[in-house]
Structure formats: structure tokens, C-alpha cells
Amino acid sequence: MKNNIRVERAIMRISQQELADIVGVSRQTIYAIENGRFIPSTELALKLSACFGKTVNELFSLD
Amino acid sequence: MKKNKFLLPYKCQIAGWIILPVSLIAMTLLLNLFLGKISDTAMRCCIILDMILGGLSLMMIAFSEEKSEDEFIEHLRGKSLAIAAGITFTIAIIWFIFLITYNFYGTPDMADTGTMMVYNALNLMSSVFMMFFIYIITLKTNLAIYKWRCNHEK
């Protein structure tokens, strides 16, 4: 599973910690998702997509 | 986000980290200073109480929330528990095979059923403690690694 959270985060100019605070998780979780070490739940994926104003499909895609 | 309802609050983890060294120090003192000086029954009672205290502190550490509990930490918990169970189960089987083999080919006194029962009980008890230890070590190491990686991310 690929994702472009890092890119979207760079566009919005927010840090991992800021994103973590917005969606209500720890910074480690954002790091693990960005690096493909952890696949988030549907709830968290929806929160992330809402935060970036994108759809889940635009944020996450299959390899 | 839904949280694990079976986990104890974070404060219990702090209490566990305080009680664990206390129980370890108490055990060391009991075995080094009081062995032979107090009656066997009192000694046995003290050791059992100390072991219960140690086990309780391990449980408090293992089953308490982290400061910021979320689904990734839940995922790490599951992974650590699986690793701990796997290692403990493997060691328990090796220990069991060793006991059976020793019972067949070892000294005659080991063939005694009572001794075997004591060794099996010891095996079972140490397995539980070991599982807690391995689980806590794996989880804390994983958390520390991710924290370190996060801090070193550009």
C-alpha cells in the first residue's frame, strides 16, 4: 500500500506532530504510516483525507 | 477513535515501574540476609508474597495504557504479545522435552513423580513471568525505536 501523506503534508507545510495533533494520534503513528510500516484503519484514513481535503483513494493506493 | 477498554490507566504503569524494583530488591534481601535466620514457613510466605507483588507489578506495566494510546500502539501490542507467546512457548517445549529426557535417562531420584510435578509447576510459573518480561521488553523496545526514528527524521 502506497500513500502520499508526506507529499500532502509538505504542500500544507505542517509537521508530523501537527498532523498527529489534528487527527488525534501520536507522531510515531504518522511516521509509521508515511513509511509504509503501518496501514491505518478506515477511520484514521478518513480523518487524514478530510484533513488534506482529498479522497481516501487520492491519498492511499495499492502497489 | 475507539480505545481498548481492558487497559488500565497510565498511572498504573508508573506504579508498576515503582513496585517492580522494590519486589526485586526485597527478594534479593530475603535470599541474602534472612535465609536461615527466620523459620522456613515465614521465609516461604515472604517469598510467595514477594512473587505475587512482582507478578502484579509486571501485569500493571504490561496492561496499562501508554501516554498517547492509539491504534498503532495497539498494533505494536499485538505484535509484541505474539512474539512473547512464541518465544515462551518454544522455551516451555524445550524445557518439557529436557525434563522428559532427563526423567528417562537421568538419575533415579528425578524419576520421582513429586519432583517432576514441582519442576513442571516451576516451568509453568516461570513461563508466565517470562512471557510478561518478553512482552514488556519487546513493546518498549519497539516504541523506543519508533520514537528515536521520529526524532531523527528530517
Mean pLDDT for each 10-residue chunk of chain B (154 residues)?
75 93 88 78 84 89 88 93 92 82 62 66 75 92 90 73
User: ∠ CA(A25), CA(A8), CA(A56), 5° rounding?
Assistant: 70
Q: What pLDDT, in 10s, does the model give residues A31-61? A: 999 998 999 999 999 999 999 999 999 999 8
**Cα–Cα dist B42/B38, whole Å:** 7
Tell which of B70, B145, B149, B152 to mutate to test the A interface (max A CBs under 10 Å). B70
Which of B101, B103, B106, B128 lies closest to B116, judged by CA?
Answer: B103
Residue that finishes a domain, picked among B66, B84, B115:
B66
User: ∠ CA(A42), CA(A47), CA(A53), 5° rounding?
Assistant: 120
Confidence (pLDDT) at A22: 93
Q: What pLDDT, in 10s, does the model give residues A6-25? A: 999 999 999 999 999 999 99
Check if CATH label 3.40.50.720 holds for domain A2-56: no
Coil/strand/helix, residue A32:
helix
Could you say which residues from 80 to 139 on chain B have a Cβ atom under 8 Å away from some Cβ of chain A?
A: none
Could you tell me if B30 and B16 lie in one domain? yes
ipTM metric: 0.86
Q: Domain range for residue B27?
A: 1-66
Q: What single-letter amino acid sits at B37?
A: K
Residues A53, A57, A59, B2: is their CA dihedral positive or negative?
positive
Q: What are phi and psi of B59, to 5 degrees?
A: -65, -40
Could you tell me if B26 and B76 lie in one domain? no
Provide the domain count of chain B. 2
Classify residue A13 by its DSSP letter.
T
Could you tell me if B58 and B77 lie in one domain? no
What are the residue ranges spanned by the domains of chain A? 2-56
Could you tell me if B104 and B32 lie in one domain? no
Q: Does B70 touch chain A (CB under 8 A)?
A: yes
